[in-house]
């Protein structure tokens, strides 16, 4: 198991703020909009440097999505900023018609995604947003894992032509990826090569997968860990290659079990290479108030649950191999 260490923890939303500033410096067409959550989205630096390229829309998310769509006509590259719930569920039809179906170059940037928003509770903790966005034809869906990767992703989507949903979170999480990394949309990142089980994780769960990998290594289990930062388009090649080697899969995400990364992987495998699989995700439930770490534990999203899922799927694999001698010879 490759060793990942960190000296600093930071929120992924701050990575977005830093990336937005850099994207703004590189391209004068990058503009930003916000629905009364400048501080939460960490947009201050961009606004300070480019006051004429920022639009405060007020508490009117539907209007913000429409304005952003219209701004693309004439060449602006708008980045909208609000909480994930108000970036997706609240304005689904606006995104569907005015952005996705219209093929507009809008970057929907969503903070406070998932359970780890914490104390605000279920009304603000959307766990369905990945599903909602990935179902829209032509929408790219990205969920980076730490500060550095979120910054790199933000800069990358400014250079990409098409609608993008960029999802990040509120709590501080370890920074374990390189500050100067190249972010390629749709290209999964190999965190650790292994032979026994494939763990495909996204967002905050990548770090938990690394912790789980260390624990599994102590048990003599060699886990392959891949960071699926882009959920759509899915890096099918990387997933199938890993599965061909390990023959069993765990998916890990801070999202509802229904409609998230796990379902995308399951859909791929069922048609191309069915193998035993377990989901680490919220089991079709709303969240509740609590500290991020408490919620991750209660809703089954921490390293311990990934370890448990890996052991369970390994058992399923062994059983399958025992029942199919021809498979064992593969």
Partner 1 sequence: MTSTKMLSESELEEIAKQVRRDIIRMVHGCQSGHPGGSLGCTDFMVALYFKIMKHDPAFHMDGTGEDLFFLSNGHISPVFYAVLARSGYFDVSELATFRQLNSRVQGHPTTHEGLPGVRMSSGSLGQGLSVAIGAALTKKRKGDQSLVFSLHGDGELQEGQIWEAALFAPAKKVDNLIVTIDVNGQQIDGSTEQVLSLGDLHAKWVAFGWDVLKMDGNKMSEVMATLELAKSRAHNGKPIVILMKTNMGHGVSFMTGSHKWHGAAPNDEQQKQALSELTSTLADY
Site for partner 1 in 150-209 (CB under 8 A): none
Site for partner 1 in 57-96 (CB under 8 A): 57-58, 60, 62-76, 78, 93-94, 96
Q: Is 61 a catalytic residue?
A: yes
Instruction: Count the residues of the shown chain that bind partner 1, applying the rule CB under 8 A.
Output: 31
Of 137 and 325, the one with the shorter C-beta distance to partner 1 is 137
Tell the smallest beta-carbon distance from residue 328 to partner 1 (Å): 50
- What does each C-alpha distance from 23 to 49, 95, 97, 291 come to in angstroms? 12, 23, 27, 33
Site for partner 1 in 300-329 (CB under 8 A): none
Please report whether residue 31 would count as binding partner 1 according to CB under 8 A: yes
Tell the smallest beta-carbon distance from residue 69 to partner 1 (Å): 5
Of 69 and 261, the one with the shorter C-beta distance to partner 1 is 69
Of 91 and 295, the one with the shorter C-beta distance to partner 1 is 91
Tell the smallest beta-carbon distance from residue 26 to partner 1 (Å): 17
Active-site pick, 8, 22, 44, 61: 61
| Interacting span for partner 1 (CB under 8 A) from 9-17, 47-55, 128-136, 167-175 | 47-55
Site for partner 1 in 222-241 (CB under 8 A): none
Token reading at 144: 């980076």
| Interacting span for partner 1 (CB under 8 A) from 54-62, 143-151, 283-291, 321-329 | 54-62
Of 70 and 186, the one with the shorter C-beta distance to partner 1 is 70
Of 96 and 297, the one with the shorter C-beta distance to partner 1 is 96
Tell the smallest beta-carbon distance from residue 33 to partner 1 (Å): 9
- Where in the sequence numbering do the catalytic residues fall? 61
Residues at the interface with partner 1 (CB under 8 A): 31, 52-53, 55, 57-58, 60, 62-76, 78, 93-94, 96-98, 101-103
């Amino acid at each position: 198991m490759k060793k990942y260490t960190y000296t600093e923890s930071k929120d992924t939303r701050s990575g977005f703020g830093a990336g937005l500033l850099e994207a703004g410096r590189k391209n004068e067409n990058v503009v930003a909009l916000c629905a009364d959550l400048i501080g939460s989205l960490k947009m201050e630096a961009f606004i300070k440097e480019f006051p004429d390229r920022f639009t405060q829309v007020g508490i009117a998310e539907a209007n913000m999505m429409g304005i952003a769509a219209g701004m693309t006509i004439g060449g602006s590259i708008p980045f909208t900023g609000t909480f994930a719930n108000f970036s997706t569920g609240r304005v689904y039809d606006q995104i569907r018609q005015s952005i996705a179906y219209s093929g507009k170059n809008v970057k929907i940037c969503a903070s406070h995604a998932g359970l780890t928003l914490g104390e605000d509770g279920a009304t603000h903790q959307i766990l369905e947003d990945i599903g909602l966005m990935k179902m829209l034809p032509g929408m790219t869906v990205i969920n980076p894992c730490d500060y550095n990767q979120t910054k790199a992703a933000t800069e990358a989507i400014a250079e990409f032509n098409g609608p993008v949903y960029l999802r990040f979170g509120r709590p501080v999480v370890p920074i374990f990826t390189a500050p100067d990394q190249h972010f390629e949309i749709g290209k999964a990142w190999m965190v650790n090569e292994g032979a026994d089980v494939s763990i495909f994780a996204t967002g905050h769960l990548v770090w938990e997968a690394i912790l789980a990998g260390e624990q599994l290594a102590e048990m003599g289990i060699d886990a392959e860990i891949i960071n699926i930062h882009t959920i759509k388009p899915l890096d099918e090649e990387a997933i199938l290659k890993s599965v061909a080697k390990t023959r069993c899969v765990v998916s890990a995400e801070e999202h509802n079990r229904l409609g998230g990364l796990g379902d995308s992987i399951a859909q791929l495998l069922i048609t191309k290479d069915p193998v035993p699989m377990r989901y680490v995700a919220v089991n079709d439930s709303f969240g509740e108030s609590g500290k991020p770490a408490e919620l991750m534990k209660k809703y089954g999203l921490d390293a311990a649950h990934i370890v448990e899922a890996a052991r369970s799927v390994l058992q399923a694999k062994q059983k399958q191999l025992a029942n199919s001698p021809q498979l064992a010879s593969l």
